[in-house]
Amino acid sequence: MLVMATLSANACQVSKTLAPTRGMTGRLLVACCLVWLAPGSARGQTADDPLTLVTPQDRRPLPTVRFDGRRMVAVSELAGPFGLTIADVGQPERLTIMREDRIIVLTANEGLVSVAGQLVALASPPLERDGDWYVPIDFIGRALALVQDEPLELRPRSGLVLLGDVRVPQVVARYQRAGRQSRLRLMITPQTEHLVEQSDNRLLVTFEADALDLVLRDMRSDALVADIRAVDGRPALAVELRDGFGSFSATTEPALGGAVELIIDLRPRAVSTTRAAPPPTPPAGSRGGAGVAPPAGPGTGPAALIPGETVGDTTLPLLAELAPPRRIRAIAIDAGHGGDDVGTRGPDGALEKDVTLAVAQRLRNRIESEIGLRVVLTRTSDTAVSLDERAAIANNDRADLFISLHANASVRETAVGAEVFYLSLAEYGDEAREAGFTGQLVPTVGGGSRVLDIVPWEMAQLRHVDHSARWAQTVADELSQRVPMSPRGLQQAPFRVLVGANMPAVVVEMGFISNPDQEAQLTSTTFQSAIVSGLLRGIIRYRDEVERETLPLDAGSGRLP
C-alpha cells in the first residue's frame, strides 16, 4: 500500500505536469491516478479476529477490522444484532443511529458521540470510508449499552460481547510448578458451579455457564501438562496431560468479590523400583563355583524383595529406618495485641486487637477441620500477653511453625497491602552468629547425665532464620494470590515477638487499617476468609516441602529437647 500510494502521488504529479501539453496522454495518466487512488479510501484497513456475541439463544461472530492499528467494527454489522436503524438525515460527515426513541449521533473524526442527549467519549473517533461508518469496539460498551433494554457488556480482553441474561464467568488460570508436583489455580468470578473430571489424557473443567471468559497466565508445558486451553463452543477448560501424570486432587476456597478459587494439584506417576535380593548362600558342604562366596553364618539367607528400595548394603539398616520422619504437627497462631493494648485503630474505630483475634480463630478452625494439625493460640480472648510470653507459649507447646498476626498503619492514608516479615539477622551480632550453641551436662532420672543444648532466649530464632525466610516467602506467595500486597510484600525486621521463637516464625501484617478502604476489608468476613485461605495454603505448601525432605525442619543442629 505504501508503494502504491507513492506511485499514485507521483503519477498525479506527472499528470499535472503533462496535462496542458500532452492532451489525451495526460487524461490517461489522470485515469490511472484515480485507479491507483481507489484502494486509498481503505488505506490502513486490515481484517481482524471477530468478536463473539453471546446471547441466551446462541453465539455468533461479530466481524471487526483494524484501521492503522485501531480495532473497529462497522455500524452496519451492529444494526441487526442490536436492533438499530441507520437514519439518512443528509448531513455530511454525520450519522444518526436510532433504537426506538433513543438516538445516537456520530461525527466523523470526532471522539465524542451524543447518546440519548449525553456526551460519551470513545477511545478513538468514528471513521467514514466510502459511505461505510466504523466505530471503535469500546463504542459497544460505552455508547450502545446506554440504549439497550437488556444488559450489554464488552469484554475486550477475551473478545466477548454479552447481551441479555447470560452467565459468563471470568476464569483467570495460573499454572505453577511446585517441586515434582504442579498446581493449576482458577480464580472464578463470580462463583460458578463446575465439575472436574479426567478422561484418558485430559482433565476437563466444565462450568455451568453460557460461555467462558478465560485468561491464561504463566502457561508453560512441563512433564505433567502439555497444554491448557478453552474448549471450542463449550464453557469448559481442557488440561492436556502427558504420560508422566499420575493423579490429581481439587479443592475450592472463597475469594474476594464473590469469587471462588479452584485449586487443582497434579501429581506425577509413581515410579516403583525393587531392591534385588543377594544370591542365595550355598548349602553347607557344597562346593562353591568361581565367584561364589562361602557361607557367612546365620541370618545371611536370601533377602525379601522390598518395593521402592534400591540395591544397597544389606548388612546395614535402611536409611529410612535410621532417620525419623520430619513432620509439621503443630501451629502456633499469635493474635497480636489484646487487653489494654488495642494496637492500631482505623478511621472508623476498628481495633487491630479485634481483627487479629477474629482471623486467628478462623485460621484455627480451618487448620483443625481441613488438615488436622494441632493449633496453639497465644490468646483466645481479649487478654494482654507479653511479647516474650507469646514465643514461650509456642515453645512450651512444641509448635513447629509460628504466625503472629497484625494490622499495619501509616501516616499515608493511601498505604495499602499485606506484608510478611521474618527476623532480621541484624538483631544478632557477628560474635553471636559465629558462637553456635553450647552444651551443658545435666543429671537424668535414675542416675547418669546427658548433654543439653543451652540456647540463650534471645538467640532461639537464630538457628531458624534461614527456614523462617523460606516460610515467609511461601506465605507471601500464597497471600499474593488472594489479597492486595504492599510493594514490599516480603521483608525482614527485628520484631521482638520473633526473637525467642524456637521454630520457623513470621509476622503477617494483613493490611493497613489506617486506610479507610482496607479498614472495611479487614473487618469483613470475605476478606478475613481470603487471608485465612492464603495462610492455610502456605502451611500446606511448607508442610509438603518439609515432608518431602526438601526442606528440613532444623538448621543442622537439631531442635531443643
Within 311-395, strands assigned E span: 330-335, 374-377
- pLDDT number for residue 158: 85
* CB proximity list for 363: less than 8 A, separation 6 or greater: 333, 375, 403, 532, 535, 536
Residues 346 and 444 in one domain: yes
Final residue belonging to a domain, choices 163, 182, 200: 163
CB 145 within 8 A of CB 113: no
Span of 300-314, 418-432, 531-545 with lowest mean pLDDT: 300-314
> What average pLDDT score do residues 531-537 get?
94
Q: How long, in residues, is the chain?
A: 561
d(CA 277, CA 262): 46
- Please give the mean pLDDT across all residues of the chain: 77
Query: What number is the average pLDDT over the span 183-210?
Result: 92
Looking at the 3D structure of the chain, how many domains does it have? 3
**Mean pLDDT (whole number) for 515-535:** 93
pLDDT digits (tens, 9 = 90+) for 276-313: 445 554 544 444 433 333 444 433 333 333 333 333 33
Find the CATH number of the domain harbouring 150: 3.30.457.10
Domain presence at residue 306 = no
Would the pLDDT of 4 be above 80?
Answer: no
472 and 359 within one domain: yes
Give residue 179's pLDDT band: very low, low, confident or very high (50, 70, 90): low
Note whether residue 1 is domain-resident.
no
Residue 136 is assigned to a structural domain of this protein? yes
* pLDDT at 192 (0 to 100): 93
DSSP single-letter state for residue 458: G
If you average pLDDT over residues 344-359, what whole number do you get? Answer: 95
DSSP letters for 389-432:
HHHHHHHHTT-SEEEEEEEE--SSTT---EEEEEE-GGGS-HHH
**C-alpha cell of 94?**
454525520
- Secondary structure of 206-269 as H, E, C letters: EECCCCCEEEEECCCCCCCEEEEEECCCCCEEEEEECCCEEEEEEEEEECHHHCEEEEEEEEEC
> 241 to each of 225, 226, 267, how far by Cα in Å?
5, 6, 11
State whether 150 and 204 are in the same domain.
no
Same domain, 150 and 75: yes
Print the domain residue range for 113: 46-163
> Residue 8 above 50 pLDDT?
no
Residue 288 burial (CB count, 10 A): 11
Q: What is the mean pLDDT of residues 173-184?
A: 79
| Residue 130 and residue 226 in one domain | no
Whether residue 15 lies inside any domain: the answer is no
- For the question of whether the overall pTM of this predicted structure is more than 0.85, the answer is no
Q: What is the average per-residue pLDDT within 235-254?
A: 90
Q: What mean pLDDT comes out for the span 430-458?
A: 44
Same domain (yes/no): 235, 128: no
Both 180 and 246 in one domain: the answer is yes
CATH of the domain at 542: 3.40.630.40
Residue 284: inside a domain, yes or no? Answer: no
How open is the CA angle 73-75-78, to the nearest 5 degrees? 85
My answer on whether 142 and 188 are in the same domain is no
| pLDDT score at 456 | 45
φ and ψ at residue 203, rounded to 5 degrees? -100, 135
Residue 469 CA to residue 266 CA, distance in Å, equals 26
Residue-level pLDDT at 31: 39
pLDDT band per the 50, 70, 90 thresholds, residue 338: very high
In the listed set 132, 163, 194, which residue is the last one of a domain according to the structure?
A: 163
Could you tell me if 369 and 450 lie in one domain? yes
Q: Is the pLDDT of residue 545 over 50?
A: yes
Q: What is the dihedral of CA 100, 105, 111, 117, to 10 degrees?
A: -70
Give the pLDDT confidence of 468-491 residue by residue, as tens digits: 989 999 999 999 989 999 988 999
447 pLDDT exceeds 80?
A: no
C-alpha 442/C-alpha 418 separation (Å) is 46
In angstroms, the CA 453 to CA 22 distance is 109
Q: Is residue 279 part of a domain?
A: no
Q: What is the pLDDT of residue 137?
A: 95
Please check whether residues 54 and 148 belong to one and the same domain. yes
Q: Residue 193: which CATH number?
A: 2.60.40.3500
DSSP 531: H
Q: Are 134 and 142 in contact (CB under 8 A)?
A: no
Q: Go through 512-546 and write b for each residue having 16 or more CB atoms within 10 A of its CB, e for each that does not.
A: bbbbeebbebbbeeebbbbbbbbbbbbbbbbbbbb
8 part of a folded domain: no
pLDDT band at 438 (very low <50, low <70, confident <90, very high): very low
Check whether residue 371 and residue 514 sit in a common domain: yes
Q: Give how far Cα 200 sits from Cα of 132, 197, 259, 408, Å.
A: 51, 10, 30, 50
In a domain, 414, yes or no: yes
Which residue type, as a one-letter code, is found at position 136?
P
From 252, 268, 284, give the residue that closes a domain.
268
Question: Does residue 232 sit in the same domain as residue 362?
Answer: no
CA-to-CA distance for 355 and 99, rounded, in angstroms?
Answer: 52
What phi-psi label fits residue 447: left (phi over 0), alpha (psi between -120 and 50 degrees) or beta? left
